[in-house]
């Protein structure tokens, strides 16, 4: 009797252990899924793009008078980030100025937007776009695995399975933009030098 009972206890113990393990794994996957749904990559990038603008000392325009018009973010080559910015920006400001969003289909239609985000869909033409998009007072943000390209001040990259960014401070300075030390400290690297 004891041997039979013992034989039954062992399988039951294994079943309970397996069920508990599976439940733990499912809970882990469900939690990760919820995080992924809550913070999709395009949502993170949209939030970053807005916040980049809040960490810039924007130059004055004209005769030394502050520009009282809105700050405009143009998006080229990433409809999902554009959609997220359209949802994220209403009611927000940068440097006490309203913020607008504009989707452009070509660099030829770029106006005087202060921030330009060039999405991954345009990476094949990136160097030509960067060359054409340079303008004083414009912050250019890219999304390429090739790293910072000449003309881009900020580039998104994956690090430790997270969306992070790298900065070319010299490029920002050439566009007459000063980036805050807090933004520089948050970057993976600044001018090719990794942050500690």
Of residues 112 and 68, more confidently modeled: 112
Strand 139-142 relative to strand 154-159, pairing: parallel
- Tally the domains of the chain: 2
Indicate whether 64 pLDDT > 70: no
Average pLDDT on 12-29 reads 36
Average pLDDT on 110-138 reads 96
Find tokens 């202060």 and name the residue.
Answer: 114
Domain span holding position 80: 41-194
95: left (phi over 0), alpha (psi -120 to 50) or beta: left
Q: Are residues 28 and 52 in the same domain?
A: no
Q: Which residues contact 85 (CB under 8 A, 6 or more apart)?
A: 46, 49, 50, 73, 75, 101
Provide the mean pLDDT of the chain. 82
| pTM of the predicted model as reported, rounded to 2 decimal places | 0.78
Indicate whether 137 pLDDT > 90: yes
- Closest by Cα among 154, 157, 188 to 169: 154
Of the pLDDT bands very low, low, confident and very high (cuts 50, 70, 90), residue 68 is: low
Q: Are residues 104 and 172 in the same domain?
A: yes
* 3-state DSSP assignment of residue 162: strand
The whole-number pLDDT of residue 62 equals: 47
The whole-number pLDDT of residue 177 equals: 97
Indicate whether 152 pLDDT > 50: yes
The whole-number pLDDT of residue 159 equals: 83
Q: Which residues contact 143 (CB under 8 A, 6 or more apart)?
A: 45, 78, 117, 118, 119, 120, 123, 155, 156
Query: Contact, 176 vs 154, CB < 8 A?
Result: no
Indicate whether 33 pLDDT > 60: no
Q: Are residues 135 and 168 in the same domain?
A: yes
The whole-number pLDDT of residue 161 equals: 83
CATH code of 111's domain = 3.40.50
Query: Contact, 129 vs 116, CB < 8 A?
Result: no
């Amino acid at each position: 009797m004891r041997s039979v009972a013992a034989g039954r206890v062992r399988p039951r113990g294994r079943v309970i252990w397996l069920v508990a393990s599976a439940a733990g794994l499912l809970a882990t996957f469900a939690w990760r899924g919820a995080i992924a749904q809550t913070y999709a990559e395009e949502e993170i990038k949209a939030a970053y793009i807005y916040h980049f603008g809040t960490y810039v000392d924007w130059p004055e325009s004209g005769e030394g008078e502050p520009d009282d018009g809105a700050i405009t973010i143009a998006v080229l080559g990433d409809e999902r980030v554009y959609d997220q910015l359209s949802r994220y920006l209403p009611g927000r400001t940068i440097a006490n100025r309203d913020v607008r969003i504009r989707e452009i289909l070509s660099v030829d239609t770029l106006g005087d937007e202060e921030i330009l985000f060039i999405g991954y869909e345009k990476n094949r033409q990136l160097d030509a776009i960067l060359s054409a998009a340079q303008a004083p007072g414009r912050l250019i943000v890219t999304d390429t695995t090739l790293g910072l390209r000449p003309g881009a001040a900020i580039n998104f990259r994956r690090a430790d399975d997270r969306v992070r960014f790298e900065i070319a401070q010299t490029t920002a300075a050439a566009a007459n933009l000063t980036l805050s030390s807090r933004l520089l400290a948050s970057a993976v690297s600044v001018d090719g030098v990794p942050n500690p």
